[in-house]
Amino acid sequence: MERTTVTFESGLLKKLRQLAVSKSTTISHLVNEIIWSHLFGKSKARNYRLDWHPEKGAIQPGVDVADRDALFEIMEKDR
């Protein structure tokens, strides 16, 4: 990793800080990702992390999980 100094237009650094905070990352990482994406059309590294939170439960009697429309009807009844 190399270091350099970059001068940003007025207000841009504030927007970068806000975006970095909203994405739980650093400004350096965010700027690197933006530049890679702009220059090469994609991110250098796509590190996705799925936060999996399984729930305990059981299929209710009369529910066909293969019938999407029926599932939506059942979910709408519970609202």
13-66 pLDDT, tens digit per residue, is 999 999 999 999 999 999 998 998 888 886 555 667 778 888 888 877 878 888
**pLDDT for residue 30:** 92
Q: Residue 29: count other Cβ atoms within 10 Å of its Cβ.
A: 12
Task: Answer whether 16's CB lies under 8 Å from 9's CB.
Answer: no
pLDDT for residue 71 is more than 90: no
Q: Which structural domain, as residue segments, surrounds residue 35?
A: 10-46
Check residue 47 and give its pLDDT.
Answer: 67
Domain membership flag for residue 2: no
Residue 61 lies in a domain: no
Please indicate, yes or no, if residue 1 is contained in any of the structural domains.
no
Sign of CA dihedral 18, 21, 27, 31: negative
Q: Is residue 17 part of a domain?
A: yes
Q: Is residue 20 part of a domain?
A: yes
Query: What does DSSP assign to residue 75?
Result: H
